[in-house]
Amino acid sequence: MADTLAKPYYPGLVFQSRYMQMQLRYLPFLLFILWLAGCRMGNPYYPVPKELALTLKLYEDVVRWSDLNKIYAFGRKDAGWEVPPGLDNVRVNGYETSDPAEIEPWRWGQTAVISYVLNDRQVVKQLVDQQIWVSEDEGDTWYRENVPPPF
C-alpha cells in the first residue's frame, strides 16, 4: 500500500502513454503502406515501356484536344495513310482507354472508346479504336501499325 501512496495518480498521463504506445505500434505498418504506394509512383503505366506510355498519352491528347488530321502522323512515314476529308467537322468529347497489353515483344495493343460530335448535325457518336503500336528500335520510337478508324 505504501507504493501506491508514493506515486501520484494522473489519469491523463496514463492515457497519453497508452495512446502513444498504440500509435507507435501502428507506425511500421503505416510506413510499409506508404513505401508500397511510393513504389507504384515511378511509372503509372508499369510494366508498359516508358516511351510507349508517353506516346499513348500524346496520342490521346492529340485526339482529344488537337486537330484530328495530326493523328495520321503517328504512323510510319512510308505507310501511305490518306487523311479523310471532313475531320474538321468532328469534335471529340470523350476518350477512354483500356490498359495497354503486350501482344509480342515490341508490339502492344490498346483499345480506346472515342465519343465525338458531328458539328454540322449535332449528332453524338461513338467508335471503338483498336490500336496496335510497334517499335522497330527496341522501344525508342513507337508507331501506330493500323490505320485510325474513320470518324
Same domain, 60 and 104: yes
**Contact (CB, 8 A) for 85 and 68:** no
Same domain, 58 and 131: yes
Burial class (CB in 10 A: 0-12, 13-18, 19+), 126: exposed
Task: Assess if residue 151 is contained within a domain.
Answer: no
- The grid coordinates listed for 103 are 501482344
Q: Spell out the per-residue pLDDT of the chain, length 151, in tens.
A: 555 555 555 555 554 566 656 666 776 777 777 776 665 555 555 688 899 999 999 999 999 999 999 999 999 888 888 889 989 999 999 999 998 999 998 999 999 999 999 988 888 999 999 999 999 888 889 999 999 998 8
User: What confidence score (pLDDT) does residue 103 get?
Assistant: 92
**Contact (CB, 8 A) for 41 and 34:** no
Task: Assess if residue 149 is contained within a domain.
Answer: no
Give the CA dihedral 65, 146, 78, 75, nearest 10 degrees: 20
Same domain, 136 and 65: yes
Give the side-chain half-sphere CA count within 13 A for 149: 15
Same domain, 67 and 135: yes
Same domain, 125 and 59: yes
Question: Does the pTM of the predicted model rise above 0.85?
Answer: no
Range of the domain at 33: 2-39
First to last CA, the chain: 90
Structurally, the chain folds into a number of domains equal to 2
Task: Assess if residue 150 is contained within a domain.
Answer: no
